[in-house]
Chain A
Amino acid sequence: MSQGEYLKRGFWRNFDTTLLVITILLCAFGVVSIYSANLQSESPFLHGLYIRQIYWIGISLMVMGAVTLIDYRFIERMAYPLYFAGVITLVSVNYSGRIIGGSQRWISMYGFNLQPSELMKIIVIIFVARIFDDMRKEGNLGARDLIKPLILVSIPFLIVAKQPDLGTAVIYMILFASIAFFNGISRKLLLKAAGALALLAPAFWFLLKPYQKERILGILNPEADPMGHGYHIIQSKIAIGSGGMWGKGIFEGTQSKLNFLPAKHTDFIFSVFSEEVGFVGSMVLIAIFFLFIMRFIEVILHANDKFGSLVVVGIMSMIAFNFFYNIGMTLGLFPIVGIPLPFISYGGSSLLTNFIGVGLALNVSLGRYRVE
């Protein structure tokens, strides 16, 4: 079947409508929550953020559509050029980007700020998948096989860590680790890596900046410093906990309205949501996310080639990690790091990145290219 014929007959039959519907549903939850978070804001700018979010969703949908339609084998061929372009952009942002909130990680376009380190996640996924695809070997990869990809991932990792945006940098490593793990690592190496990590953890502790240490300590005992480092965690827990079984009602949250919640339309959007809709509503959202992630695993299982599988592994890992970390953070399980809730939190860069991810998964799920 030629591609033209395929597009005519097979496209909609194979198109993963569930994935798209869930994505849009999540965005709708996000817009309502962002609106609610800033409902009482005195600043018309904050008050109008949900509109900007809608613009971003529109832009992201279009980009997603384009990503879905490109031949993904072409994307695989472009893995290295993309990687170099990404690294160069990151370096240039470090020198000339906009500084927001003390770290230099933005470029400005038409009044919208874009964070290249977010989009770099996609590039990391693509080129790591390409490297493992090129190896043509699964299971029992040894240290020698991993050296090359590890060095290549370390470069953007170091650049972004220097911005400083350790949260995003660590995600690159996680993406690498999960694709490598999927491809199969020898048990010996796995044990060695775990041992090294355990040994290095104390050393890593001393490399952290004081504020980063305080965040980690804050999670262990927030009540020790309720007005300082424990403040955000405590207020978020109060917001979620006071929501109870059924919540306080949409737009009726008091914690968020009183400005107790920090970064309420970005990192703490789940607290706003959960306070208003309670355990039941939160479970609905969580269930949707569960379906969403399982859907990605479905795509992985049905991909027509190895590259396709590996790319979707990366995307699933990215979305799942963001989801778990962000929710865990608002529930007081993890230290506070600026990691947004995918599709829900305000922010164009992460929205665009996640949409591109969904676009790639849709592309793979279409199963247009059979390589055997």
Chain B
Amino acid sequence: MYTTRSEWEEFLEHRKSKSAIFALLVILGFTVIIIRLWHLQIIQHSALSDRAENNRIRQVTLDGRRGKILDRNGDALVDSRPSFQLSVIPEDLENPKETLELLSRRVEFDMDEKLKEIKKARSFESVVIKRDITREQVAFAEERRLDLPGVHLEIKAIRNYIHNDIASHLLGYLSIITPKQLAKDTKSVYSRNDFVGQYGIEKKYEESLRGLKGLKRIEVDATGRQLKLLGQEPSKSGEDLRITIDYKTQAAAEKAFEGKMGAAIAIDPDTGEILAYVSKPSYDPNMFALGVTAKDWKSLVNNKFHPLQNRLSQGQYPPGSTFKIVVAAAALEEGIINESSTYYCPGHFRLGRRTYRCWKRGGHGSMTVRDALIQSCDVFFYNAGLKLGINKIARYANAFGLGRYPKINLGPEKKGLIPTTQWKKKYRKEPWIKGETVSCSIGQGFVLTTPAQQARMIAAVANGGTLVTPRIIPGQKNKNESGSGREPMNISSNTIQIIREALRGVVAAPHGTAWRLRDGPYSYAGKTGTSQVIQMKKDDPMKNEELDFRFRDHAWFVSFAPYDDPKIAVAVIAEHAGHGGAAAAPIAQRIMDTYLDGIEKTGAEKRIGAGNGRHVTENIH
């Protein structure tokens, strides 16, 4: 700010001379740049142009090895195997049609499709002609290299699901990255032909499993073959992932389901670690490993038994009599009954004008809560349930984890349905009817549960009243899991103890519904359940075997063993297989036996070796 005109004019003078200096500097700078540009683009043009032409340096990306998936003992469930892949670089193809025709003599592929792809591709982007070619095809491509300009052999790792369809819903699968996923990849980790995890563990743990790409600069000859390695940034391997699955138990479970549909999940009742995870029918994830064909995909999707569906977390079934565990706990806790109070079962139960039958037409007679659980008496629970009312039942069902997401978080989960009066008003726009409470008391009616929820419920009974979250990585929370994964149910230990004793009786007592397991090598406890797929006509009960397959009942068995110190809790549903005791319990037994045999063996080994393992003293029979 200038107060006088003369000062201002002095500044103007000063400004002019300085600006002139700046202008001179700028002109000098431009001169240097123009001279340099002239030098490079005009004088050195032909030399540099040659170097650009002969820029036989190619940058090749190196894939990072994808981590293996191992079972809890470190045995591989999923690894990768090397394979050869035939691809072309459009820019180097002299005559695409001719080259492809020559190739098609030995390698089968869809000519029109590939020609179209080549036309669409960017000129330096390789187009895959065929993955996983045979040794003979590799030899052919090598021999005729000079006749096949632009054709490249690449070594590619192919994901290998070692045991084919075992635990496929858990492990998930890989497939070629979708355009949408590519668009989201802001860090440019992936390129167009990459395989990424699309489901299950492969998807959830994609980031740690996948490696990081490396880069190598190579000098190539005219046909694109490497002459010299000029430098490289090595790729990084993905991390191997150890999961909680016990392969032997898993395999036994899968085998036990042979010819059947349904699901089974076994967890460690203390830690929640998932030991086996079966959903049947399943599929072989290897079929995705090469890029699934449209035909295979169609047949999977259209299969009427829905092999792609994950029945463990998405299959919602009426829990049937397994729900009696909840109603018994509720009735005991709410003081509606005590351990010695009885209801009389004449074989049916009347409410208003309707009659509800017990599964045993002749009736069970006088029943305590223990007897009622052991023999699965319906009438006892009709009475207890009605006294409780649906809302109290729902509260306890929630405490057992029913009607809530189990949060294994490996993919979409369903939360089943535990009805309340409010729920019915909101979604059905009708008031609750007492008769519905009666049906719900034995796990029919509106009630729906998933096998994963049932496993949580039975594990909570096994461990004395703590609801655990099933976990898939040893000692780690599931992805996006909040809380500690251990939730006290606030049910008295006395109540839990009564239920535990009753569930032991289901196997061991004279009239127990799972008496088939009585003579097994371990002390099991459990609860059978049969969930009706259709309502049968009241007076014309057909035998299950006479029904069309799809209308047959589902069989449930939720169980744990050994009774005194539970090491495994299992929920099994066998679809359309009939009664729980007959159809589902033997499957559960095979799962538990295999696992307990296994830890007994390692326990014994440990005892001989170090002497003081956790299972040593407890599990030697």
Bound: A138/B15 CA distance, A: 9
CB-nearest residue of chain B to A282: B37
A42-B191, A45-B183 as given contacts; A240 in contact with B37, CB under 8 Å: yes
Bound: A187/B22 CA distance, A: 17
Q: What residues of A have a CB within 8 angstroms of the CB of B192 in the complex?
A: 42
Q: Are B33 and A328 in contact (CB under 8 A)?
A: yes
Bound: A294/B5 CA distance, A: 28
9-residue interface stretch from B23-31, B96-104, B283-291, B368-376: B23-31
Q: What residues of A have a CB within 8 angstroms of the CB of B183 in the complex?
A: 44-45, 48
Against A, the Cβ 8 Å flags (1 = close, 0 = not) of B5-42 are 10010110011101100110010011011101110111
| Docked complex: A237-256 residues within 8 A CB-CB of B | 237-245, 254-255
Bound: A288/B546 CA distance, A: 90
Q: What residues of A have a CB within 8 angstroms of the CB of B550 in the complex?
A: none
Bound: A266/B150 CA distance, A: 32
Bound: A238/B48 CA distance, A: 5
9-residue interface stretch from B51-59, B255-263, B350-358, B595-603: B51-59
For the residues of A in contact with B, the DSSP-based class is helix
How many contacts A-B (CB < 8 Å)? 149
Tell whether A214 is near chain B: CB-to-CB under 8 Å. no
Q: Are B40 and A331 in contact (CB under 8 A)?
A: yes
Against B, the Cβ 8 Å flags (1 = close, 0 = not) of A168-190 are 00000000001001101000000
Q: Are B10 and A245 in contact (CB under 8 A)?
A: no
Q: Are A241 and B45 in contact (CB under 8 A)?
A: yes
Q: What residues of A have a CB within 8 angstroms of the CB of B29 in the complex?
A: 320, 324
CB-nearest residue of chain B to A333: B36
For the residues of B in contact with A, the DSSP-based class is helix
Q: Are A301 and B26 in contact (CB under 8 A)?
A: no
Q: Are A305 and B34 in contact (CB under 8 A)?
A: no
Tell whether B186 is near chain A: CB-to-CB under 8 Å. yes
| Docked complex: A305-357 residues within 8 A CB-CB of B | 305-306, 309, 313, 316, 320, 324, 327-328, 331-333
Residue of B8, B51, B124, B188 near A238 (CB, 8 A) is: B51
* Size of interface on A: residues with Cβ below 8 Å to B: 59
Q: What residues of A have a CB within 8 angstroms of the CB of B55 in the complex?
A: 238, 254-255, 258, 260
Q: Are A40 and B124 in contact (CB under 8 A)?
A: yes
Tell whether B427 is near chain A: CB-to-CB under 8 Å. no
Tell whether B139 is near chain A: CB-to-CB under 8 Å. no
Tell whether A23 is near chain B: CB-to-CB under 8 Å. no
Q: What residues of A have a CB within 8 angstroms of the CB of B58 in the complex?
A: 258
Task: Give the shortest distance, in Å, between B239 (CB) and chain A (any CB).
Answer: 22
Q: Are B42 and A184 in contact (CB under 8 A)?
A: no
Residue of A40, A182, A255, A320 near B18 (CB, 8 A) is: A182
Q: Are B19 and A301 in contact (CB under 8 A)?
A: yes
Q: What residues of B have a CB within 8 angstroms of the CB of A365 in the complex?
A: none
Bound: A254/B52 CA distance, A: 8
Q: Are A237 and B57 in contact (CB under 8 A)?
A: no
Tell whether B123 is near chain A: CB-to-CB under 8 Å. yes
Q: What residues of B have a CB within 8 angstroms of the CB of A309 in the complex?
A: 15
Q: Are B52 and A237 in contact (CB under 8 A)?
A: no
Q: Are B33 and A300 in contact (CB under 8 A)?
A: no
Residues of B in contact with A, size category: 35 or more
Q: Are B26 and A320 in contact (CB under 8 A)?
A: yes
Q: Are B2 and A306 in contact (CB under 8 A)?
A: yes
Tell whether B227 is near chain A: CB-to-CB under 8 Å. no
Q: What residues of B have a CB within 8 angstroms of the CB of A182 in the complex?
A: 18, 22
Q: Are B186 and A286 in contact (CB under 8 A)?
A: no
Q: Are A313 and B37 in contact (CB under 8 A)?
A: no
Q: What residues of B have a CB within 8 angstroms of the CB of A78 in the complex?
A: none
Max count, chain B CB within 10 A of own CB: residue among A44, A254, A257, A294:
A44
| Docked complex: B42-72 residues within 8 A CB-CB of A | 42, 44-45, 47-49, 51-53, 55, 57-59
Bound: A324/B182 CA distance, A: 37
| Docked complex: A98-150 residues within 8 A CB-CB of B | 133, 136, 138-139
Q: Are A138 and B10 in contact (CB under 8 A)?
A: yes
Against B, the Cβ 8 Å flags (1 = close, 0 = not) of A276-308 are 001100110010001001100100110001100
Bound: A290/B32 CA distance, A: 13
Q: What residues of A have a CB within 8 angstroms of the CB of B22 in the complex?
A: 178, 182, 297, 300, 313, 316
Residue of B5, B40, B122, B125 near A372 (CB, 8 A) is: B5
Q: What residues of B have a CB within 8 angstroms of the CB of A46 in the complex?
A: 188
Q: Are A40 and B125 in contact (CB under 8 A)?
A: yes
Q: What residues of B have a CB within 8 angstroms of the CB of A133 in the complex?
A: 1
Q: 7 interchain pairs (CB within 8 A)?
A: A44-B185, A182-B18, A238-B52, A240-B40, A242-B48, A258-B59, A279-B42
Q: What residues make up the interface of A, taking CB atoms closer than 8 Å to B?
A: 39-40, 42-46, 48, 133, 136, 138-139, 178, 181-182, 184, 227-228, 237-245, 254-255, 257-260, 274, 278-279, 282-283, 286, 290, 293-294, 297, 300-301, 305-306, 309, 313, 316, 320, 324, 327-328, 331-333, 371-372
Q: What residues make up the interface of B, taking CB atoms closer than 8 Å to A?
A: 1-2, 5, 8, 10-11, 14-16, 18-19, 22-23, 26, 29-30, 32-34, 36-38, 40-42, 44-45, 47-49, 51-53, 55, 57-59, 122-125, 179, 182-183, 185-186, 188, 190-192, 217, 230-231
Known: A241-B48, A257-B124, A305-B2. 7 other contacts (CB 8 A): A227-B231, A237-B40, A279-B37, A300-B22, A305-B1, A372-B5, A372-B8
